[in-house]
Amino acid sequence: MLREYDLTGKVAIVTGASKGIGKGIALTLAEAGANIAAADIDSDGLKGLAGEIKKLGRKCLAITTDVTDEAQVRNMVEEATSKLGQIDILVNNAGKGNRRVVVPLDEQNIKPITDEDWESVMNLNVKGILHCVRAVGPQMIARRKGKIVIIISAVAVASFDYNSLYCISKAAAARFVQTLAREWAPYNINVNGIGPSWTMTEAAQMMLQYKGEEYVKKEMARMPLGRAAQPREIGLLAVYLSSEASDMVTGQNIFIDGGLTGAV
């Protein structure tokens, strides 16, 4: 391995780590040498992940955490620090979306966005990031060193139909990357975003199977490379942004989307 990519001895927190992109990132960071504090509301999923990471010869601390609850996030960071050591890397991955319209449309049988929908999505996708960086930031600032990766989405710049709330939340997350990077640059803390498009997680596979072959063809045709990503591919970019190799990179939202946003 190139020395600059080696994460041996580093400690990484990954939120939303029990499955999908978060799991792919956690496993790939562990392959690169990092010990992992895996956070998620899915405690059973975390147990499975912890077993896989330990097989790689790394430590994994599974901490059931709801990132919308600031007290739980503080406790998670304290536990991770006390049991694994100082936090070198924070990957904010926890997030969700919902298929909603702004107002009812006659031709679409899709529910309109409610205030509860808004609060639920924005609390997880935006406020959850705030809780995590606020909990980890002080120790990184004190050491004048750290890597923060925020998982945004291609929808931050390439909107999908009937997903306006999700798109808005991810656009906010992308802007969070840029503003936090400027604020914390004097402390040698790198803050960058990763924007995936279709990624073959369990949830995506179920959706594509439900929608049918024609829908899959249509969605893949939107992407110049003609295929979806694999979670490990997102993880490989996360390794770069978490390593010394990216020390000169900050405030960037990098889209790993088969050319989708480049073709907008």
Q: At a CB cut-off of 8 Å and minimum separation 6, what does 149 contact? A: 89, 90, 91, 92, 192, 193, 194, 238, 241, 242
* Residue 60 bridge partners (DSSP): 36
The residue type found at 168 is: I
SS3 track for 49-101: HHHHHHHCCCCEEEEECCCCCHHHHHHHHHHHHHHHCCCCEEEECCCCCCCEE
Rounded distance between C-alpha atoms, residue 67 and residue 76, angstroms: 9
240 is catalytic: no
Rounded distance between C-alpha atoms, residue 124 and residue 68, angstroms: 6
Q: How far is CA 52 from CA 7, 15, 38, 105, in A?
A: 18, 17, 12, 46
Out of 5, 166, 210, 215, the active site residue is 166
**Longest alpha-carbon distance in the chain:** 58
Which residues are designated catalytic? 166
